[in-house]
Amino acid sequence: MKEPDGVKKVLLIDHIEGQCRCIIGFKDGDAREAYMCGEPVYQRRGKKLSSWCAYHYGQMHTVAAQQNRESDQSAASPQAVSIVRNP
């Protein structure tokens, strides 16, 4: 999935339903003037409308999957230790 080139970016105040809400930058570096991606949102048949375009939808889910893997590992370590202590 290619990253959107930003041609459809919209200011927060101009954002309308159906446009990707991912913040991609700020106008003049002003946090109150956020630019959102603005690409048409990703939609799966029978699912409610996503807030993200296909690219950012994929990105969010990739990040979430990585975080899940990390928390799995940290949860597994103390368990391994307790197995050693109590065979």
Candidate segments 8-16, 31-39, 41-49, 65-73, binder of Zn ion by CB under 5 A = 31-39
Task: For residue 9, give the nearest of 60, 79, 70, 56 by alpha carbon.
Answer: 56
Could you say whether residue 10 binds Zn ion (CB under 5 A)?
no
Residues near 17 by beta carbon (within 8 Å), at least 6 away in sequence: 49
Report the distance separating Cα 21 and Cα 41, nearest Å: 9
Could you say whether residue 56 binds Zn ion (CB under 5 A)?
yes
Please report how close the Cβ of residue 13 comes to Zn ion at its closest, in angstroms: 18
User: What is the contact surface with Zn ion in residues (CB under 5 A)?
Assistant: 20, 22, 37, 39, 53, 56
